């Protein structure tokens, strides 16, 4: 009897240990790890409406899913899948990351609208856009006196509206110290910045525009969704442009890539997961030239890809391809 009780006690201890291990695997988050995996596509037509125009339903942005602090079980299964990426995220507060992402999205739409309206005006002279550079917004920084979304309106007493991004960078490159006048919460502040030991000021700036008037008028709704960031810039620009000139292609067109105010397409993250997401959902995928070699290698491994992969360096190349 004693031996039987001891055996059962041993079995109970073993089952308890297994149960505890399962609880740990399924509930305890693994900090400083994140999982990136395929998501879905989202119609850009829902994010902006242009007055008296039928919004193009052909253009879709691609989003991927991102899980921070996964459980041990989620981490294990993610490593077994070829469709996911496990990585160590940069330490950033969630609120700050969302604020930066929202600012990137706002800038992306500014650049998309300016580029699309200007190019559409070459086709139809009734289309126009009037805008002004307001300053340069801080998109990233390591200076404790500055904040994300601070708007730099003067540098050493000079209005930043007299600069381009490249000429401002050239000006600051030769300075060890600079006096900034920034606009924060509609109040002006004077802040002095000094280069660190790495020879940098520790700030990243992007131009911030005010659109005064556009014909036809438009209304944006992108603020209402939960997506943030600039990676939809190229597709936003194409959607607005083809809505303005009222041309259809009878395709489901997607892709990825940032856009600047000159129409240049820039790099993004998560290209592998975006390509996997696109397969079976779209007919055409525009890819920034910086990612094309990586994207082509992934594309060639897809089983029966449903879309064409097209490399673009600027929006004109994408328009030419669709002509």
Query: What are the sequence ranges of the domains in the chain?
Result: 31-93+105-124+216-323, 128-215
* φ, ψ at 69 (rounded to 5°): 55, 60
Among 272, 276, 274, 284, smallest CA distance to 319 is for: 284
Collect all residues with Cβ–Cβ distance below 8 Å to 44 and sequence separation of at least 6. Answer: 59, 60, 61, 232, 235, 236, 239
The DSSP code sequence of 166-218 is: HHHHHHHHT-SEEEEEEEETTEEEEEEEE--TTS---EEEEEEEEEEEEES-E
Q: And the tokens for 183?
A: 């606009």
Say what the pTM is.
Answer: 0.84
CATH fold of the domain at 31-93+105-124+216-323: Ribosomal Protein S5; domain 2 (3.30.230)
Whether the CB-CB separation of 165 and 231 falls below 8 Å is answered with no
Q: What is the pLDDT of residue 129?
A: 97
Q: And the tokens for 14?
A: 């073993």
Q: What is the pLDDT of residue 132?
A: 96
Q: What is the pLDDT of residue 152?
A: 96
* φ, ψ at 287 (rounded to 5°): -125, 130
CATH fold of the domain at 128-215: Pdz3 Domain (2.30.42)
One pLDDT digit (tens) per residue for the chain, 323 residues? 555 455 555 656 666 666 666 666 566 676 777 777 677 888 888 889 999 998 888 999 888 776 676 776 666 565 656 666 766 766 655 677 788 888 999 999 999 999 999 999 999 999 999 999 999 999 988 888 899 999 999 999 999 999 999 999 999 998 999 999 999 998 999 999 998 888 888 899 999 999 999 999 999 888 776 677 788 899 999 999 999 999 999 999 999 999 998 999 998 888 888 998 999 999 999 999 999 999 999 999 988 899 999 999 999 999 999 98
- Cα 62–Cα 68–Cα 74 angle in degrees, nearest 5: 95
- Residue 119 CB burial class (10 angstroms; 0-12, 13-18, ≥19): buried
Q: And the tokens for 306?
A: 């449903």
């Amino acid at each position: 009897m004693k031996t039987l009780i001891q055996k059962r006690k041993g079995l109970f201890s073993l089952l308890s240990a297994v149960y505890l291990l399962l609880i740990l695997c399924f509930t305890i988050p693994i900090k400083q790890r994140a999982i990136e995996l395929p998501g879905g596509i989202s119609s850009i037509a829902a994010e902006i409406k242009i007055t008296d125009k039928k919004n193009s339903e052909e253009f879709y942005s691609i989003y991927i899913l991102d899980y921070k602090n996964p459980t041990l079980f989620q981490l294990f299964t993610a490593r077994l899948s070829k469709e996911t990426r496990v990585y160590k995220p940069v330490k950033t507060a969630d609120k700050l990351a969302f604020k930066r992402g929202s600012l990137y999205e706002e800038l992306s739409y500014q650049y998309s609208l300016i580029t699309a309206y200007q190019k559409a005006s070459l086709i139809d002279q009734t289309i126009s856009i009037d805008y002004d550079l307001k300053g340069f917004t801080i998109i990233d920084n390591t200076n404790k006196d500055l904040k994300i979304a601070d708007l730099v309106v003067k540098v050493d007493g000079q209005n930043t509206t007299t600069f381009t991004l490249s000429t401002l960078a050239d000006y600051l490159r030769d300075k060890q110290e600079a006096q900034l006048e920034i606009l924060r919460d509609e109040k002006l502040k004077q802040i002095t910045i000094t280069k660190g030991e790495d020879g940098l000021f520790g700030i990243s700036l992007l131009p911030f525009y005010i659109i005064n008037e556009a014909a036809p008028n438009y209304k944006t709704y992108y603020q209402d969704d939960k997506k943030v960031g600039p990676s939809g810039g190229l597709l936003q620009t194409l959607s607005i442009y083809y809505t303005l000139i009222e041309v259809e292609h009878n395709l489901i067109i997607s892709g990825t890539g940032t856009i600047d105010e000159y129409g240049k397409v820039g790099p993004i993250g998560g290209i592998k997961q975006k390509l996997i997401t696109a397969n079976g959902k779209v007919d055409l995928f525009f890819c920034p030239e910086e990612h094309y070699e990586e994207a082509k290698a992934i594309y060639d491994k897809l089983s029966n890809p449903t879309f064409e992969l097209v490399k673009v360096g600027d929006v004109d190349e994408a328009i030419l391809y669709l002509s």
